[in-house]
Amino acid sequence: MIVDKFIDIAVKNGEVAELDRIYVTNRLLDLLGWSKKRAVAGDVAADRLALLDQLTDLAVESGVIGDAISAREIWQSKVMDLFVPCPSDLNAEFWELYEQSPSQATDYFYKVSKASDYIKTRSIAKNIEYLVDTGYGELEMTINLSRPEKDPKQIAMEKAAEAISYPLCALCLENEGYAGRADFPARTNHRIVQMRVEDEEWGLQYSPYAYYEEHCIFLSAEHRPMVIDRGTFTRLVKITAQFPNYFVGSNADLPIVGGSILSHDHYQGGAHMFAMAKAPVHKEFPAYQWAEFPSVSVEIVKWPMSVIRLQSVSEADIVSAADVILQKWKEYSDDEVGILAYSGEERHNTITPIASCREVAGEQLFELSLVLRNNRRTAEHPDGLFHPHQALHHIKKENIGLIEVMGLAVLPPRLKSELEEVARYLLDQPHAMADYHSEWADRLKRKGGFQEETVMPFLQQEVGKVFEQVLTDAGVFKDTAEGIRAFREFMELIIETGDQE
User: With 90 as the cut, is the pLDDT of residue 211 above it?
Assistant: yes
Local confidence band at 38 (pLDDT 50, 70, 90 cut-offs): confident
Average pLDDT, the chain: 94
Lowest mean pLDDT among 181-195, 220-234, 466-480, 487-501: 487-501
CA pair distance 138, 35, nearest whole angstrom: 57
Task: Output the CA torsion 491→492→493→494 (10° steps).
Answer: 50
Mean pLDDT to the nearest integer, 459-486: 98
- The more confidently predicted of residues 83 and 362 is 83
What is the distance, to the nearest Å, from the Cα of residue 285 to the centroid of all Cα atoms in its chain? 31
Cβ atoms of 282 and 302 closer than 8 Å: yes
Mean pLDDT to the nearest integer, 106-127: 96
The Cα-based distances of 220 to 55, 202, 262 in angstroms read: 36, 5, 12
- H or E stretch at 219: strand 216-220
Local confidence band at 145 (pLDDT 50, 70, 90 cut-offs): very high
Local confidence band at 501 (pLDDT 50, 70, 90 cut-offs): very low
pLDDT value of residue 162: 54
| DSSP code at position 314 | -
pLDDT value of residue 500: 39
Mean pLDDT to the nearest integer, 129-141: 96
User: With 90 as the cut, is the pLDDT of residue 39 above it?
Assistant: no
Instruction: Dump strand ranges (E) for 69-161.
Output: 128-134, 137-143
The alpha-carbon radius of gyration of the chain (Å, integer) is 25
SS3 195: strand
pLDDT value of residue 228: 97
Q: Are strands 297-300 and 193-197 parallel, antiparallel or unpaired?
A: unpaired
Mean pLDDT to the nearest integer, 132-136: 95
pLDDT value of residue 240: 98
Local confidence band at 149 (pLDDT 50, 70, 90 cut-offs): low
CA pair distance 285, 300, nearest whole angstrom: 7
User: With 60 as the cut, is the pLDDT of residue 269 above it?
Assistant: yes
User: With 50 as the cut, is the pLDDT of residue 362 above it?
Assistant: yes
CA pair distance 233, 321, nearest whole angstrom: 10
User: With 70 as the cut, is the pLDDT of residue 498 above it?
Assistant: no
CA pair distance 282, 55, nearest whole angstrom: 56
- H or E stretch at 277: helix 275-278
pLDDT value of residue 199: 92
User: With 70 as the cut, is the pLDDT of residue 152 above it?
Assistant: no
| Percentage of the chain exceeding pLDDT 90 | 88
CA pair distance 367, 247, nearest whole angstrom: 10
Most confident of 30-39, 149-158, 432-441: 432-441
Mean pLDDT to the nearest integer, 243-247: 98
Could you read off the pLDDT of 314-344 as tens digits, one per residue? Answer: 999 999 999 999 999 999 999 999 999 999 9
pLDDT value of residue 429: 97
Mean pLDDT to the nearest integer, 170-187: 94
pLDDT value of residue 1: 82
Local confidence band at 426 (pLDDT 50, 70, 90 cut-offs): very high
pLDDT value of residue 499: 41
pLDDT value of residue 456: 97
User: With 60 as the cut, is the pLDDT of residue 7 above it?
Assistant: yes
Supply angle C-alpha 331, 332, 336, rounded to 5: 150
Local confidence band at 74 (pLDDT 50, 70, 90 cut-offs): very high
Q: Give the burial string for 268-289 (b: 16+ CB within 10 Å, else e).
A: bbbbbebbbbebeebeebeebe
The 3-state secondary structure of 332-376 reads CCEHHHCECCEECCEECEEEEEEEEEEEECCEEEEEEEEEEEECC
Could you read off the pLDDT of 368-416 as tens digits, one per residue? Answer: 999 999 999 999 999 999 999 999 999 999 999 999 999 999 999 999 9
Q: What is the pTM of this model?
A: 0.93
User: With 60 as the cut, is the pLDDT of residue 160 above it?
Assistant: no
φ/ψ of residue 294, rounded to 5: -65, -20
- The more confidently predicted of residues 501 and 259 is 259
pLDDT value of residue 163: 65
